[in-house]
Amino acid sequence: MNKWLKVWSIFIFSIGGIVILLLFGIIYLFFSFRASMIPDKKEEEKVISQAEQYIQEKYPTMKYEISHVLFDSDDQYPDFEYAAMILNTETQKTFKVYENKNTKQIEDDITIQEEATFIEQLRPKVYSYITKTFGEPESISFTPTYHTRGTPTLTIRLNNKKEEVNEEMFQSFIDSLQHELNVEHANVSFLYDNETEHWNMEF
């Protein structure tokens, strides 16, 4: 009897110890999570100072206000943790200034915004050209500069066979991109015939 009582006592104490450790672990994780969601005031002040200096050097005539600091608590942005949100008081457009955590350089997202807008305007024009010339494409994908870290890419998957696509047709599309749609730089690929054949050009 005493033996079983001793075994049960050890078992209960063991379970109790595990439960207590789990509770402490959960409490620790909870407070750690809460702490990670609270922005660091020094980091906010730092990014504001960096933004003011950056704008003075790069956009010396710009009239602006720093509306607030964006804290990326949920890792939504791959390039920064803190960014100063800038309002151009003349155009009423907003943009971010931040220290890129990969390059350690101060930069803004004006070019990113402009490229994103340009791609959205370009997309229906490319779709119209491809559909008119080759028929309904399987897909059209744009990868902007800020994702490639180099030349933006345009990949078009056609529902065509090899004999239905030739270099002249591909070159005509490149000419249209450059001279009619005002695309300055791009890496363009046609994939067709179950993707075993393709045309590719960078300009």
Q: What pTM was estimated for this model as a whole?
A: 0.67
Dump pLDDT digits (tens) for 70-93: 999 878 888 899 999 999 999 999
Give the separation between CA 177 and CA 92, rounded to whole angstroms.
31
Q: Residue 194 has which token pair?
A: 């179950």
Classify residue 31 by its DSSP letter: H
Give the separation between CA 85 and CA 68, rounded to whole angstroms.
5
Residue 149 pLDDT greater than 80, yes or no: no
Q: How big, in percent rounded to 5, are the helix, strand and coil portions of the chain?
A: 50, 25, 30
Residue 42 pLDDT greater than 60, yes or no: yes
Q: How far apart are the first and last CA of the chain?
A: 87
